[in-house]
């Protein structure tokens, strides 16, 4: 009896010491965060993390501690540092909110920061909204979505992407965002690792951070046409790696991977038994050859889709995920817990929207991107001509250029643009959205040109 008490006291003392050390470590992380901010360095530093990981693995072997356990503990610590250093990170959303409050004060702002189509949803949406009451879609329903809607989605997806999908492979969610959150938080556990290729939409990382999952970042560059190297991805994989996230056509770069590279990445994922979360919400806006991850028929792939961009239905909050029945079951549990189900009237309206032809939306965005491309070239911006999506991700060739400062100053001059930093370590980049009519975009680009020549 006294033995166990002694051991327990010893364990308590060790735990208290660990808590004290955690406090010391968090304080140091904060200080490092301040220094990084003052010298304009991004939060995550893969190289340093990798060095520490190597040292820890060496010690782990020497002292005979389980490597997976040590690595999970390290991942927890690294995530905590990222959390304390990421406070006040500025993204396109913070610029958008600032723009909105300036507008309330009466200032005119041209919105080139948001990824929200300015055009209306298909005409049938209006009609369906008025039908929905009489049709009787207004009750609680299945968390995975209405069978009729999932059947329509299965047919739509099968035809569009030339695959065989049944309604059992589909879960309806309030926007792709929730499907992404759901896939990450139900399939991965704290301490697991997930690979994200940057630049990327920030929510993949934020979802991971929220669930205690460690993100391994693969940085791609404009010089290498935003293509990740398979070797680099391979090197980032270890026994804790559970998922890789893909998003092509990409937000913010507009990149579509060459088919061979995409094949190689999927093969690598298969070899390492990784989930592939493929966010394909910009597939409607693919200009060049693009192949859905569904075409690989990989049981551990989760493809997310949405009505937000393709059907200009951002405010309706409706999207869906396509995956194996096994994964659907896990995601359904979380959706039932959080939301019961996506609003039935909205599901009905989205089902009707599937009947509409949205090809004019793609043509419209494409012609705006062509125009933006021409203008941005004239202005001497460096960028890759987008293969799809709705954006241009451009480098500003100026010493010590700071996208966040630039975006904030630009608001004063009447344009809102997204700083590159919101998408990873891309301080000298800005993202310009093609979500306004051509005349407004031209006006916005003109203002941007003036601001740039002022700071030359």
Task: Read off the DSSP letter of residue 6.
Answer: H
Closer residue to ligand PMP, CB minimum distance, 279 or 421: 279
Residue of 203, 216, 202, 178 lying closest to 44 (CA atoms): 216
Residue of 300, 321, 292, 284 lying closest to 180 (CA atoms): 321
Cis peptide before 249 (omega within 30 of 0): yes
Within 10 Å of residue 27's Cβ, how many Cβ atoms? Answer: 11
| In the complex, minimum distance from the CB of residue 308 to ligand PMP, in angstroms, rounded to a whole number | 3
- Taking the C-alpha atoms of residue 298 and residue 318, their distance in angstroms, rounded to an integer, is 25
Q: Which helix (H) or strand (E) holds 449?
A: helix 438-455
- Taking the C-alpha atoms of residue 199 and residue 384, their distance in angstroms, rounded to an integer, is 13
| In the complex, minimum distance from the CB of residue 347 to ligand PMP, in angstroms, rounded to a whole number | 14
Closer residue to ligand PMP, CB minimum distance, 177 or 352: 177
| In the complex, minimum distance from the CB of residue 306 to ligand PMP, in angstroms, rounded to a whole number | 3
Closer residue to ligand PMP, CB minimum distance, 142 or 314: 314
Return the structure tokens found at 92: 């396109």
- Taking the C-alpha atoms of residue 115 and residue 265, their distance in angstroms, rounded to an integer, is 27
- Taking the C-alpha atoms of residue 48 and residue 43, their distance in angstroms, rounded to an integer, is 11
| In the complex, minimum distance from the CB of residue 149 to ligand PMP, in angstroms, rounded to a whole number | 16
| In the complex, minimum distance from the CB of residue 307 to ligand PMP, in angstroms, rounded to a whole number | 7
Closer residue to ligand PMP, CB minimum distance, 122 or 319: 319
Pairing of strands 319-322, 170-173: antiparallel
Question: Which residues in this chain contact ligand PMP in the complex, by CB under 6 A?
Answer: 115, 175-177, 201, 247, 251, 279, 281, 306, 308, 314, 319
| In the complex, minimum distance from the CB of residue 287 to ligand PMP, in angstroms, rounded to a whole number | 16
Closer residue to ligand PMP, CB minimum distance, 33 or 252: 252
Closer residue to ligand PMP, CB minimum distance, 115 or 403: 115
- C-alpha distances (whole Å) from 249 to each of 196, 257, 278, 291, 335 are 15, 8, 10, 10, 27
Question: SS3 for 257?
Answer: coil
| In the complex, minimum distance from the CB of residue 328 to ligand PMP, in angstroms, rounded to a whole number | 18
| In the complex, minimum distance from the CB of residue 304 to ligand PMP, in angstroms, rounded to a whole number | 7
- C-alpha distances (whole Å) from 242 to each of 137, 211, 217, 269 are 39, 14, 14, 9
Residue of 33, 34, 31 lying closest to 44 (CA atoms): 33
- Taking the C-alpha atoms of residue 452 and residue 406, their distance in angstroms, rounded to an integer, is 9
Burial class (CB in 10 A: 0-12, 13-18, 19+), 238: middle
Closer residue to ligand PMP, CB minimum distance, 243 or 281: 281
Cis peptide before 252 (omega within 30 of 0): yes
Closer residue to ligand PMP, CB minimum distance, 240 or 306: 306
Pairing of strands 418-419, 214-219: unpaired
| In the complex, minimum distance from the CB of residue 314 to ligand PMP, in angstroms, rounded to a whole number | 5
| In the complex, minimum distance from the CB of residue 174 to ligand PMP, in angstroms, rounded to a whole number | 7
The helices-and-strands tally (H runs, E runs) of the chain is 15, 12
Residue number of the CB closest to ligand PMP reads 175
- Beta-bridged to residue 172, according to DSSP, are 320
Return the structure tokens found at 141: 């329903």
Closer residue to ligand PMP, CB minimum distance, 237 or 342: 342
| In the complex, minimum distance from the CB of residue 180 to ligand PMP, in angstroms, rounded to a whole number | 6
Closer residue to ligand PMP, CB minimum distance, 237 or 277: 277
Closer residue to ligand PMP, CB minimum distance, 233 or 342: 342
């Amino acid at each position: 009896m006294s033995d166990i008490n002694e051991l327990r006291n010893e364990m308590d003392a060790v735990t208290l010491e660990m808590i004290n050390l955690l406090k010391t470590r968090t304080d140091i992380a904060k200080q490092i965060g301040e220094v990084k901010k003052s010298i304009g360095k991004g939060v995550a530093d893969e190289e340093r993390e990798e060095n520490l990981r190597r040292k820890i693995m060496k010690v782990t072997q020497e002292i005979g501690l389980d490597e997976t356990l040590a690595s999970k503990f390290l991942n927890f610590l690294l995530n905590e540092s990222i959390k304390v250093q990421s406070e006040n990170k500025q993204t396109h959303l913070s610029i958008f909110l600032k723009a909105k409050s300036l507008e309330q004060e009466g200032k005119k702002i041209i919105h080139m920061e948001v990824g929200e189509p300015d055009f209306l949803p298909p005409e049938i949406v209006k009609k369906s909204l008025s039908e929905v009451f009489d049709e009787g879609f207004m009750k609680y329903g299945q968390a995975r979505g209405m069978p009729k809607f999932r059947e329509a989605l299965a047919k739509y997806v099968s035809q569009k992407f030339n695959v065989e999908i049944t309604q059992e492979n589909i879960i309806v969610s309030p926007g792709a965002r929730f499907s992404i959150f759901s896939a990450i938080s139900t399939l991965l556990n704290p301490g697991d690792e997930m690979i994200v290729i940057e630049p990327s939409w920030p929510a993949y990382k934020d979802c991971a951070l929220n669930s205690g999952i460690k993100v391994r970042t693969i940085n791609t560059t404009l010089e290498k046409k935003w293509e990740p190297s398979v070797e680099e991805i391979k090197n980032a994989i270890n026994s804790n790696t559970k998922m890789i996230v893909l998003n092509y056509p990409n937000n913010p770069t507009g990149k579509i991977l060459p088919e061979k590279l995409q094949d190689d990445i999927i093969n690598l994922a298969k070899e390492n038994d990784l989930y592939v979360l493929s966010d394909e919400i910009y597939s409607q806006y693919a200009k060049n050859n693009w192949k859905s991850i569904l075409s690989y028929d990989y049981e551990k792939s989760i493809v997310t889709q949405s009505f937000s961009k393709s059907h200009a239905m951002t405010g309706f909050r409706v999207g869906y995920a396509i995956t194996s029945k096994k994964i659907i079951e896990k995601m359904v549990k979380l959706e039932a817990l959080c939301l019961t189900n996506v609003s039935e009237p909205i599901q009905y309206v989205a089902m009707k929207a599937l009947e509409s032809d949205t090809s004019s939306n793609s043509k419209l965005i494409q012609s705006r991107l062509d125009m933006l491309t021409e203008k941005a070239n004239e202005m001497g911006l460096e960028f890759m001509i987008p293969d799809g999506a709705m954006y241009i991700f451009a480098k500003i060739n100026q010493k010590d250029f700071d996208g966040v400062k630039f975006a904030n100053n630009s608001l004063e001059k009447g344009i809102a643009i997204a700083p590159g930093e919101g998408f990873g370590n891309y301080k000298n980049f800005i993202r310009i959205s093609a979500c306004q009519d051509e005349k407004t975009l031209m006006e916005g680009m003109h203002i941007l040109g003036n601001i740039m020549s002022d700071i030359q």
